[in-house]
Structure 1
Amino acid sequence: MEIKFSIIMPVYNEGHRLVEAVDSLYRQTYSSYELIIVDDGSTDQETIRLIEESQDRYGWIKMIHQENRGVSSARNAGMRAVTGDYVVFLDADDRLPPNALSSMRDVLEQQAGERLDMVLSNYENIQVNHGRIIQRCLFDRSAIYDVENRDELIRLLYCNGMESGTGGCFSYEVIQKSALFFREDLNVCEDVDWFLKMFFLSKKIAAIPNFNYEYLTFGKKRIKKLERYISQTRATTYWVKNLRTYSISPASQNLLMNAFVKTYILFSIQIPEMEAREQQQAYRICSDSAWTAGKAGSSIAKVYYSMVVLLGAKAAIRILHILYAGFQRRKMII
């Protein structure tokens, strides 16, 4: 039986980039797929027109319109409409390389005797404004991971930061049985949060060395820094509280915990860049959630926690912000 992919694409006023994302699917060398475009209440007429034109042009596009509720809600609406075997997430301003679906199909068919719950791959970060391509090479060979050797996969995924399964596909059967949806109270880290939950539900995972996703960046995201910080704090707090309930080794728990806390600290030291009226609320959140970092146990987390407790959130963050800015400038010079 032919494997069918369901590609979920949330759209909000990205009409000028949407066409390229859709065309990247038209160029796929594997043709058993559907594209579910979820219009999250777009307000510009160009986006609405291009979505309708794309649907008229390609028979494999489904359309869902909803009021603006955010990217998590849009992805959830898309998942309720899936008819395929595996789900792929594609943002409206990104692309899939031509062989992305066929390379995942190949490994899924090779393991036909035992269902794979997830296929992971490498991806490229294309910085359009700067003309740079940064390859995120997580896997240098194909491998199958199960519960017994999952710690090795965690090490590959999280030794250098957070990952969200970009360029992967996910069993819809597992998603359906577990009723696994995106947290709609998150607008940052919602993909990291969902991916980790899916990861722990998966019994067998394949990793392949192909570059199966082109993540395009055009400049700063439009989400306000305060909203990003609140969302990041919520996600970090959840995982610091709950990570130890999952069946993984202490080493993997520490690795994941530290990855979350480091990301959280990086968000925290951006508070001085917020608008003045937002900083007061952000410092209050920082002070209230400092225990999150303290629970992680790493040296950097302990230093951060101690600084916030002893100096107060505002002074601690301003010092760290200055130190980090100096570190970044030094990196650029070197």
Structure 2
Amino acid sequence: MPRFSIIVPAYKVQAYLGQCIDSVLSQSYEDFELIGVDDRSPDGCGQIFDEAAARDDRVRVLHLPENVGLGRARNAGLEVATGDYLLFLDSDDTLTPGALRAVADRLEECAEPEILVYDYARSYWNHKVRRSRDAELFSRPGPEVFSVGERPELLGLLMVVWNKAYRRDFVEQQGLRFPPGYYEDTPWTYPSMLAAERIALLDRVCVHYRQRRQGNILSTSSRKHFDVFDQYDRVFAFLDSRPDLGHWRPVVYGRMLHHLHTVVSRPDRVPADARREYFRRAARHCRRHRPAGYRPAVGPESARLRLLARGRRRSYAVLRALEWLRREAPGAVRRMRHAVGRPLLGAYQRIAQRLPVRRDLAVFAAYWNRGPSCNPAAIHAKLRELAPHIETVWVVDRRRRDEVPPGIPFVHPGSRRHRAAMARARYFVNNVNFPDSTVKRPGTVHLQTHHGTPVKYMGLDLQEHPAARMDFERLLERVDRWDYSLSSNRFSTLAWEGAYPAGYTTLEYGYPRNDVFYTATAQDVLEARAELGIPEGAVALLYAPTHRDYRSSYRPRLDLARLMQALGPGHVLLTRMHYFHDRQDQTPSQIPDGAVIDVSGHPSVERLCLASDGLITDYSSLMFDYANLDRPIVVYADDWEVYREARGVYLDVLSGRPGETPGAVARDEQELISVLTSGAWRDESAAGLRAAFRERFCEFDDGRAAERVVRRVFLGETAPLPHLPWAERRPAPDPVTALTQRGTVPAPAQGADRDGLDRLRAFSPS
């Protein structure tokens, strides 16, 4: 029998669940069982629990057949718990290091109390940690073990179950179980604290209580907050059944009144159209349970509490408004003065924002208004096909207007037409964030497509890295506008949800920009090569390094002349600098004409991928897209240690482990030349790494991502197209196969690696 049973229910918290589980399994005290309860979670929570159970036999997993809510999910864990003591841990919170050892030692010191109460700290998204406001209660002098009658101030603690250890036989003796609905801790904590005869304290932070910016169920506007009335009915029913505890009724009533006020005073809880009913229910509730002669304590909230208890909604609202004016009036006057002085276009936009939202208008942008490209461009094309009734407009920088394909409407940032579109459009699609001035109007839909699977740290994960130069508060204000976040694999889903915590819905649909890798034909491949001037039979390698945050400019430390001399005739290098730099320095004169082609300004990186025989990159997300083509990938990273420390990484692409490294690896120029000239870049070992990498990171890409997005976001269809099984996915043929299918496979160009071409045929997808 274990000392502790730690019950962790989970529902839609996949971004945090792994940290929660790890905080338990890494404890120095090991005598416990962790009972993970998958409350029919629609995301990856069940799989995360199963993976933990597979690596640690102290983990037991319950998969509930239907979603039952937090309380009843805890009950399911209770039914199978075998530990001496029960601990409850919410799936987005964590145990602090050494917490279980401290709890075990304190229980032994206090001779097995029925309840041990320990402290917690609030953990914020910006890594700040703040101990609970009641921390001083734990250090007050008093008896080691006591009843709540000896320490009544404990009833003023946050009434939750995850800051306590409960002796299991006490729980069974009292018949404690969690009810359904919101605020399910209330009918458990009050009865247990009042009934316990032996309570002890541990003056230590044992839990980090995550303060989620969004997604906290109690911060969701819903009529479910009316459950608070039923929960207190249960508490008073318990007191009615225990006449010996009746003297606690005034204390519990006072705590209830404060709780009812907390719920209604938060603008994100009771819906506006339900506040009248909430006040009526509160008045009836207070009349039913009010002890004779009760008077609320004098304090800043006393007037509000009296009005709430009487159901005086309008008087309550007037009082709150007067309090707000006294507090906010000076700032409001300053803001009004500033608004009057804004430019005329700003006034125009504010007027436009008062007009109805246009349900048939969508605004698209990509890469800070560089023009149609990436996932937004693929979604735009499919939208025109499936929903031509929706008018579209792109936001394009004035310097890029000549690069916009014919027939695509666009506006320039800051123009009157741009402000009108931003003020009234219903749909907003971007692979980065729209500007801070963008207003998220009710009824609008913002889709964040992202622009790659992340190797490097993103969002809030950058806070402790020197390469980060951003205002994280502003960043999160932009993220709060998202309604949907697009993901091409589960790895990205977890990264985005952790780095950008907000209330959006993740769409695991694949990347629309990668659809072309499954829809392109052999003719498309050959035409792409012909457009670039790649000779038939030549081996074309696409070299695409990424940006370095720790450098103001970046030129790859690669001697192109030396590389091309080593490769010899019959090889072509397509060089594409990151879009932050656009074009590389002029190609050295000693390189033969046509051997190196600068494609930095090419409008479609996807078409470059189709034209190439292999990819050379470093930490660019392009490797994850390119893996869809099942063609060789070489990682050339000569500054890995610096990059990893400056930016932080989620993935060690140089490790050589299947599922992390996409192919052959080179750490310096000579090693890169050796990899390319020896054929190691496309041998059987490289193909095996590529297969594992593709299986992990291309799991949702099958050529239909754009259609899934359009049907869900624009057409309102909730059931996405199923993903094609791996056996049915057919990527575009590589250049050698494309020539074979056309029936004109020329002899390799002079100097080309004939054996290498044969090997390439051998490893080309069928």
Tell me the residue number matched to 1:107: 106
Kept in 1: contact 2:20–2:92 (CA 8 A):
yes
- Once residues 309 and 11 of structure 1 are traced to their aligned partners in structure 2, the CA distance between those partners, rounded to angstroms, is 36
Alignment of 1:1-334 (within 5 A): 4-44=3-43, 46-66=44-64, 67-112=66-111, 115-128=112-125, 130-136=126-132, 137=135, 138-140=137-139, 143-147=143-147, 150-155=148-153, 157-159=154-156, 162-184=158-180, 186-188=181-183, 190-220=184-214, 221-223=216-218, 224-239=220-235, 243=239, 245=242, 247=244, 250=247, 253-270=249-266, 274-291=270-287, 295=291, 296-299=294-297, 303=303, 307=307, 313-322=312-321, 325=324
- Once residues 127 and 4 of structure 1 are traced to their aligned partners in structure 2, the CA distance between those partners, rounded to angstroms, is 31
- Once residues 288 and 115 of structure 2 are traced to their aligned partners in structure 1, the CA distance between those partners, rounded to angstroms, is 30
- Once residues 269 and 70 of structure 2 are traced to their aligned partners in structure 1, the CA distance between those partners, rounded to angstroms, is 24
Distance 1:248 1:50, change over 3 A: same
1:227, distance to aligned residue in structure 2 (A): 3.6
1:196, distance to aligned residue in structure 2 (A): 1.6
Q: Secondary structure at the match of 2:121?
A: strand
1:216, distance to aligned residue in structure 2 (A): 0.7
Kept in 2: contact 1:10–1:74 (CA 8 A):
yes
More off after superposition, 169-178 vs 133-142: 133-142
Kept in 2: contact 1:168–1:212 (CA 8 A):
no
Distance 1:299 1:195, change over 3 A: closer
Kept in 2: contact 1:9–1:75 (CA 8 A):
yes
Post-superposition Cα deviations, 1:162-199, rounded to whole Å, max 9, x if no partner, equal 43243221000111222210112x312x2132122112
- Once residues 26 and 93 of structure 1 are traced to their aligned partners in structure 2, the CA distance between those partners, rounded to angstroms, is 15
Read off the aligned partner of 1:144 and give its amino acid letter: E
- Once residues 205 and 269 of structure 2 are traced to their aligned partners in structure 1, the CA distance between those partners, rounded to angstroms, is 34
Distance 1:42 1:276, change over 3 A: same
- Once residues 109 and 172 of structure 1 are traced to their aligned partners in structure 2, the CA distance between those partners, rounded to angstroms, is 15
Alignment coverage as a number of residue pairs: 318
Post-superposition Cα deviations, 1:296-332, rounded to whole Å, max 9, x if no partner, equal 532569855763587x6431342344356568869xx
Distance 1:81 1:302, change over 3 A: same
Q: Secondary structure at the match of 2:113?
A: coil
1:74, distance to aligned residue in structure 2 (A): 0.2
Q: Secondary structure at the match of 1:146?
A: coil
Read off the aligned partner of 1:57 and give its amino acid letter: R
- Once residues 229 and 327 of structure 2 are traced to their aligned partners in structure 1, the CA distance between those partners, rounded to angstroms, is 23
Q: How does the TM-score come out when normalised to structure 1?
A: 0.82
Mark the runs of 5 or more structure 2 residues left unpaired by the alignment: 330-766
Read off the aligned partner of 1:222 and give its amino acid letter: I
Distance 1:236 1:316, change over 3 A: farther
1:144, distance to aligned residue in structure 2 (A): 2.4
Distance 1:179 1:289, change over 3 A: closer
- Once residues 276 and 183 of structure 1 are traced to their aligned partners in structure 2, the CA distance between those partners, rounded to angstroms, is 27
More off after superposition, 202-211 vs 4-13: 202-211
Read off the aligned partner of 2:9 and give its amino acid letter: P
1:125, distance to aligned residue in structure 2 (A): 1.1
Post-superposition Cα deviations, 1:15-67, rounded to whole Å, max 9, x if no partner, equal 110000001012211000000011111012x2232222112121111111111
Q: Secondary structure at the match of 1:144?
A: coil
Kept in 2: contact 1:287–1:308 (CA 8 A):
yes
1:158, distance to aligned residue in structure 2 (A): 3.2
Distance 1:327 1:258, change over 3 A: farther
Question: Higher helix proportion, which one?
Answer: 1
1:275, distance to aligned residue in structure 2 (A): 3.7
- Once residues 51 and 309 of structure 2 are traced to their aligned partners in structure 1, the CA distance between those partners, rounded to angstroms, is 56
- Once residues 284 and 177 of structure 2 are traced to their aligned partners in structure 1, the CA distance between those partners, rounded to angstroms, is 28
Distance 1:163 1:280, change over 3 A: closer
- Once residues 85 and 167 of structure 1 are traced to their aligned partners in structure 2, the CA distance between those partners, rounded to angstroms, is 17
Post-superposition Cα deviations, 1:187-235, rounded to whole Å, max 9, x if no partner, equal 12x2132122112332211112111111111124234434453122223
Q: How does the TM-score come out when normalised to structure 2?
A: 0.38
Kept in 1: contact 2:32–2:58 (CA 8 A):
yes
Mark the runs of 5 or more structure 1 residues left unpaired by the alignment: none
Identity across matched positions, percent: 21
- Once residues 63 and 252 of structure 2 are traced to their aligned partners in structure 1, the CA distance between those partners, rounded to angstroms, is 36
Kept in 1: contact 2:223–2:271 (CA 8 A):
no
Higher relative contact order structure (alpha carbons within 8 Å, sequence separation ≥ 6): 1
Q: Which structure would you say has the larger Rg?
A: 2
Kept in 1: contact 2:39–2:68 (CA 8 A):
yes
Distance 1:272 1:57, change over 3 A: closer
Distance 1:94 1:246, change over 3 A: farther
Q: Secondary structure at the match of 1:282?
A: helix
1:240, distance to aligned residue in structure 2 (A): 5.2
Read off the aligned partner of 2:69 and give its amino acid letter: G
Distance 1:65 1:291, change over 3 A: same
Read off the aligned partner of 2:217 and give its amino acid letter: R
